[in-house]
Amino acid sequence: MQTDLVKLLEEFPTISLKEMNSVRLMNRIDTKYLTDIETLKRIISSSYGEYMVQEVNGCILSDYVTCYFDTEDYDMYLQHQRGMNNRTKVRVRRYINSDIMFLEVKRRNNKGRTDKCRIQISDSLRMNSEQISFLKDNISYNPYSLIPRLENRFKRITMVNMNKSERLTIDVSITFHNISTQAKLDTGNLVVIELKRNGNTESPIKSILKELMVHPSGFSKYCIGASLTDPLLKQNRFKMKQHYIEKITTN
């Protein structure tokens, strides 16, 4: 699967990580889509000429590891489960290929915009004074109340359109490890595509996705991963998504 994707992507012009920094879009509108590997191959083939693909240390399929934190009573998870528009996620993300790690806070507001702030760190297991201060400035929770809840791993393709007004991330080989229950899950053929734009500008990928009948679909790696690996969590809001993912993973 990965070999086929890399062969398709090798036909695209590349952009370096340094060049990509100008397209960070830390305050943006995110639109997510779910599909499978075979459909992804068609999407990539149809995107040639419209996008560049990010290359990091010679790799265009990059490895990520993320650890999500939550409170004792899973308040961040429950924000999403209750359908609250204003919600927060706290995570440590490690970019394996570039050997960089960040403590990140993602906030979504009731206008559909996502704001992300982060600081670079060197140790994901210990919170130093700088990290505690960062969290105090950016979340309403007591930083000392946060517990590591879920780890997930995936491989990411990052693309940018030719005029650098949007980014497209494509996540494959997604796995979850619930730190509380120790349950693990491999999502197999699942593909998560995320379109990130500053606003409602024209997007080459939107027409391609529409033609292939891939429609917008909300998806939170933390909430879906937690709900699939901990049956004791409230999860009625995620049932339809779970069934769709199970259908993809069993094909």
pLDDT of residue 178: 98
Conformation bin of residue 49: beta by default, left when phi > 0, alpha when psi is -120 to 50: left
pLDDT of residue 199: 67
Q: Residue ranges of the alpha helices (H) in 113-238?
A: 129-138, 204-211, 221-229
> DSSP letter string over 122-150?
S-SS---HHHHHHHHHH-SS-GGG-EEEE
For the segment 44-50, the average pLDDT, to the nearest whole number, is 93
189-215 tens-digit pLDDT:
999 999 987 766 678 899 999 999 999
Summary mean pLDDT of the chain: 89
Tokens of 177: 């490890």
Q: What is the DSSP letter of 85?
A: S
Greatest mean pLDDT among 66-80, 161-175, 229-243 lies in: 66-80
Residue-range domains of the chain with CATH: 2-249 (2.40.320.10)
For the segment 144-165, the average pLDDT, to the nearest whole number, is 93
Taking the C-alpha atoms of residue 248 and residue 251, their distance in angstroms, rounded to an integer, is 5
Taking the C-alpha atoms of residue 223 and residue 145, their distance in angstroms, rounded to an integer, is 19
β-bridge pairing 14-16 and 100-108 = unpaired
70-108 tens-digit pLDDT:
999 999 999 999 988 889 999 999 999 888 999 999 988
User: Helix, strand, coil: what percent of the chain each, to 5?
Assistant: 30, 40, 30
For the segment 25-33, the average pLDDT, to the nearest whole number, is 73
- pLDDT of 188 over the 90 cut: no
Residues 6+ apart with CB under 8 A from 222: 68, 70, 76, 77, 89, 91, 149, 150, 152
pTM score = 0.90
- pLDDT of 26 over the 60 cut: no
> What is the pLDDT confidence band of residue 112, given thresholds at 50, 70 and 90?
low
Closest alpha carbon to 144 in 155, 135, 153, 154: 135
Taking the C-alpha atoms of residue 9 and residue 242, their distance in angstroms, rounded to an integer, is 30
pLDDT of residue 229: 95
